[in-house]
Amino acid sequence: MLKKASRPLVFLVLAVVVVLAVVLAVVVAAAPAAWGADAPAGAPALPRVEVRSADLWAVGVVHDDKMSIHLSRLIDNAPVRDAAISVVLRGTAYAATAESDGSYSLQTKDLTLPGPAVVEFQVAFGAARESLKGTLDIGAAAGVTDDKNNARQLWWWVLNFAVCFGVLWLISRRRKAAQT
């Protein structure tokens, strides 16, 4: 059994270990990417728009200020490689460039603006022309959270544990003084 004099010291060490463990858990949970962890499984996917017509299917995936467009035929899901694609985004028309893998790409700063935007793919291949319309919803900027109180909440918890630790320390000192 422990001596009466060493019990407050053990209690003090245990309290410090618990406080440090809680602070570390809060910090790691608040910023997993800062510790080298990948995005959580429930992280939102990249913004995308999918549109169909009677003959074509277009999928546009946005990454930063670049959109990759995959255009295919609905009948056989074969990529359409010889098309001229014009993308109307936020009222401005942009020409998409063909890539070597059969997709098309578009780069503009309009893709970084948050919020929903009407997208129209104007496709010309052979003698056919089609217009495919859809909505692209670009969320908040990547890496920016809507919760602006993360740091404030962390420091609030640290302060709460410090106050609790201080109160417990004062109580143990008071008991020790009463015993002598």
Indicate the pTM of the whole model. Answer: 0.55
Interatomic CA distance for residues 87 and 116, integer angstroms:
15
Question: From its phi and psi, is residue 4 left (phi > 0), alpha (psi between -120 and 50) or beta?
Answer: alpha
Long-range contacts of 58-64 (CB under 8 A, 24+ apart): 58/121, 58/123, 58/132, 60/87, 60/106, 60/119, 60/121, 60/136, 62/111, 62/136, 62/138, 64/111, 64/112, 64/142
- The burial class, CB within 10 Å (0-12 / 13-18 / 19+), for 31 is middle
The CA R_g of the chain, rounded to the nearest whole Å, is 29
Per-residue confidence in pLDDT tens, the chain, 180 aa? 455 556 667 777 777 777 777 776 666 666 555 444 444 555 567 888 999 998 899 999 999 899 999 999 999 988 988 899 999 998 999 999 999 998 999 999 989 888 899 999 999 988 889 999 999 988 754 445 555 567 777 778 888 888 888 888 888 888 888 887
pLDDT given at position 141: 45
Which of 137, 64, 67 minimizes the C-alpha distance to 104? Answer: 67
pLDDT given at position 44: 61
pLDDT given at position 51: 93
Query: Within 13 Å, how many C-alpha atoms sit on residue 95's CB side?
Result: 5
Dihedral (CA of 104, 51, 44, 88) sign? positive
pLDDT given at position 160: 86
